[in-house]
Structures are given as C-alpha cells and as structure tokens.
Amino acid sequence: MGIVGVLVVGCGSTVASPDGGIEAGTPDHREPMAAAAPLPETPAATDRWYLAVQEANQAAQLAQTAATAEEWQQVATTWGQSVLWLKGMPVEDPRYAFGQRRAADYLNNLAVAQAQAQAQTQQAGVPRVFPSLGSTVLDEQISLYHSYVATLGVPDVLIMGSSRALQGIDPQVLQQSLAAQGRPNLRVYNFSVNGATAQVLSFVTRQLLAEDMHPQLVIWAEGARGFNSGRFDRTFAAILESPGYAAVRHGAQLSLANPSPDLVIPSDPIPISPINSQGFLAVNDQFNPSVYYRSFPRVRGQYDDTYRAFRLDGVQTLSLDAVIQSFRSRGIPIAFVNLPLSDDYLDPVRMVYERQFQRFLQTYADRGTMTVVDLLELWRWQSHFFADPSHINRYGAREIARLLAEDNRIQWPTAPKPEAVNEVDPS
C-alpha cells in the first residue's frame, strides 16, 4: 500500500503523482514538496481546509525521512491531525465533499505509517510509557493505548474485559458495523487483558487511566469467572506487587500530559505480541472437540478452579459497583456483554454457576445501572465460532461486533458534529 500524495492548495495546480509524490504546476515541471505552491501566510484560524493541508504536507515531508518507530508514529499522528481538521469542515463549505474523500485517503496514509511503525517496533519491542504492572499483556496494552490516543484521540467506545474479550470483540468490525447502522466516525479500542477481573478493571479505570483517557461508552465483556469473589485473584495480586502500582499510589496515572519527573520508566522494551493497533487479538483456531482434546485435557466443571468457592458477593461485586458509580459520575454508560460459551464447556456444574450470574446481571439491568446483553447460549452448539471451549475466535469476534452494533439498547455515542470540532486544538 502506497501513501497517497497530498493536495497542496495555492495559486498553482497540484496533483498526486503516480509514485505517491507531488507534481506541481505544468506536467513537465516537477518540484520538491517544499517548493510547491505555498499556503497563504495567515489563513483564517477557522479555515479547516488550509489547516488540514498544512498537517498533510508536514506528514508527507516527515514520511520522506522517517526511519524509526517513533518517527513513523509521528507521521501517523500528523496524518491523524489532518483528518481531524477535514472531518470538522462545515457541511455547507463547498470543499466539504472533496475534503471527506481526502480524509479517507489520509486515513489510508495513516494506516501505512502505523504499519511502518509496527514493523520497526517489532524489531525493538514496544517502548514502555509506564512502570510495569506485573502483567506483560497489561503493560503492552498500556503502551498501545497511550499511542492510539496520542494518534487518533480518545476512542468513543472502549471494550474491556479478560482474554475472552481480548479475542472476542473485533473493534474494527464494530466501527464498520456502527457506520452501516448510521453511526459513522466512531472510534473503538479493545483494552482487554488476560485474567482481568472486576477488581483489575476497577483499578485500571478508577486509578490508572487519567481523565484524558476515558471514552464515551464502555463495553464490559466478560462472564461469571471474572466476578467470582471466592477464588484467588492472581492478576490483581501481581499488580499489587508491581512498581507500577507503587507509582499509582504516589499519584501517577496514564495520561497524555507530561509524566511526573519522579516517575521512573524502565528502558527495557515490552515483547511484541499479535495484538493489533486497536488492542484486538485475532485467533484463527476453530474449536473441534474431537481434535482439541487430543492435545488438551478435558476439565469438568467440578474441577474448574475458576469456579472454586463460587460466590457473587464480595470484593469483585464491590469493584463492579465502584466502576459503575465512577463512570456514572462522569456520564459514561456501561454495556455489559455476557459472552458466549460452547456447549462442551457448559456442563451441568458450570451451568448452575452461570445461571446464578445471569440472575445477578439481571438485577443490574432492572435497576437501570447498566445495559446487559446476555449472549451466553448464543452459539452453544456452533463450535466453529470458538477457538477453544470458552474463547471466541476471530470469526465469532466479527459476528459479536455486528450483533452489538445492531443493538439499540446500547447507548451508543454520537460522533462530534462539525461545529463541535472547533474546540479541538490539533497542535
């Protein structure tokens, strides 16, 4: 995929050359980008077209010399700023229609730059932006989410949960499906972490993420296992022992603002995983019981540690209530998705606990404290949507995203109107 040449606006004509460069003036007169027709020296502060062109020219110039992951990330960020200006053009502007087409081109350029940044990053690892919190996946998600927000802004919709959510809802498909439902331009990120319980998500949302990292809507995707207060919470225990938790206790938060000068961030990079730029882990495996159990033991419900001493009253429920109260005070609704499980997993013992959890969720739905989308038995006998007995694969993740986009019970945010973007400072 090549980078589309930018359109330089001035007194001369400018077109994109076949190789992605800039061809200015007459066909036989080629000049470097810096010598292209200049922008007006003092364009009106509200003229988003000229501001978008300035950012696009800068992005194209940066791309000519970018070599490191950081430099390609800056290219992506600058393309993103150009897109924001174009998306904010008033619809009555005669350049609006063309500007929106250009915005689509520049989003493609942004994707190219991000791919280049990722390729460079894979050689060196993901740089840390916060002290370790005792989980490699959480550390990676923190760095990826920080970079995403720095590039495109805070997502409108944030998916959260454990590994079941990490590979269970495709954020890109959700974006596309929401657009098809008449909700365009919404950004979605999947900030899910292996082993994340209600207690872990309470820490992440209420203590770790600063205000400038909060979305307009949270989709909490999980199941009964993440709310069992009777079992030992290994992921949260590791967080409590981590240097990142010590930093949070002293007031540190994940933010785009400059970190505290006392915050010590290790220089060692985080190993690369297959998690993509929107926090999603795509798994191709398709669960076939006759094949799966040749390599993995079949664990019956009575021997499943995740349901051991199962109870829904305790620290996990207190954490859920704290998250609900915190988001309610910020005007952020929660849609809870009870993710599907396979019939092979839902044996009679587990089903007893899952039924308890369904009734537990219904009490919250009845009180109106959160929207509940119960998909527990959606694909009970459709193993091809699962990667293993309890985790969805990429094909199921697409379908879950489409189903959610069509659910009008969820309080989907509205993308900013063009007038509202006047308040955005892309500098």
Read off the pLDDT of residues 153-212 as tens digits, 9 standing for 90 and up: 999 999 999 999 999 999 999 999 999 999 999 999 999 999 999 999 999 999 999 999
pLDDT confidence bin for 6, thresholds 50/70/90:
low
At residue 36, does pLDDT exceed 90?
no
Least confident of 304-308, 318-322, 349-353: 304-308
Q: Which of 26-40, 190-204, 270-284 has the lowest mean pLDDT?
A: 26-40
Q: What is the pLDDT of residue 263?
A: 87
Is residue 15 scored above 80 in pLDDT?
no
5 has a pLDDT exceeding 90: no
Is residue 425 predicted with pLDDT exceeding 50?
A: no
pLDDT at 125: 72
Which of 112-121, 278-287, 291-300 bottoms out in mean pLDDT, i.e. has the lowest? Answer: 112-121
pLDDT band for position 261 (cuts 50, 70, 90): confident
Q: What is the pLDDT of residues 56-70, one digit of tens each?
A: 999 999 999 998 888
Q: Name which residue leads in pLDDT, 286 or 44.
A: 286
pLDDT in the model for residue 124: 64
Between 121 and 144, name the one with better pLDDT: 144
Secondary structure, 3-state, the chain: CCCCCCCCCCCCCEEECCCCCEEECCCCCCCCHHHCCCCCCCCCCCCHHHHHHHHHHHHHHHHHHCCCHHHHHHHHHHHHHHHHHHHCCCCCCCCHHHHHHHHHHHHHHHHHHHHHHHHHHHHHCECCCCCCCCCHHHHHHHHHHHHHHHHHCCCCEEEEECHHHHCCCCHHHHHHHHHHCCCCCCCEEEEECCCCCHHHHHHHHHHHECHHHCCCEEEEEECHHHHCCCCCCHHHHHHHCCHHHHHHHCCCCECCCCCCCCCCCCCCCECCCCCCCCCCCCCCCCCCHHHHCCCCCCCCHHHCHHHCCCCCCCHHHHHHHHHHHHHHHHCCCEEEEECCCCCCCCCHHHHHHHHHHHHHHHHHHHHCCCEEEECCCCCCCCHHHECCCCCECHHHHHHHHHHHHCCCCCCCCCCCCHHHHHHCCCC
Give pTM, 2 decimals: 0.72
- For residue 115, the model assigns a pLDDT of 87
pLDDT average, residue stretch 107-122: 84
The region of weakest confidence among 111-125, 241-255, 318-332, 344-358 is: 111-125
Mean pLDDT, residues 87-96:
91
pLDDT band for position 25 (cuts 50, 70, 90): very low
Among 101-105, 238-242, 407-411, name the one with the lowest average pLDDT: 101-105
The first and second tokens of residue 121, run together, are 């990053």
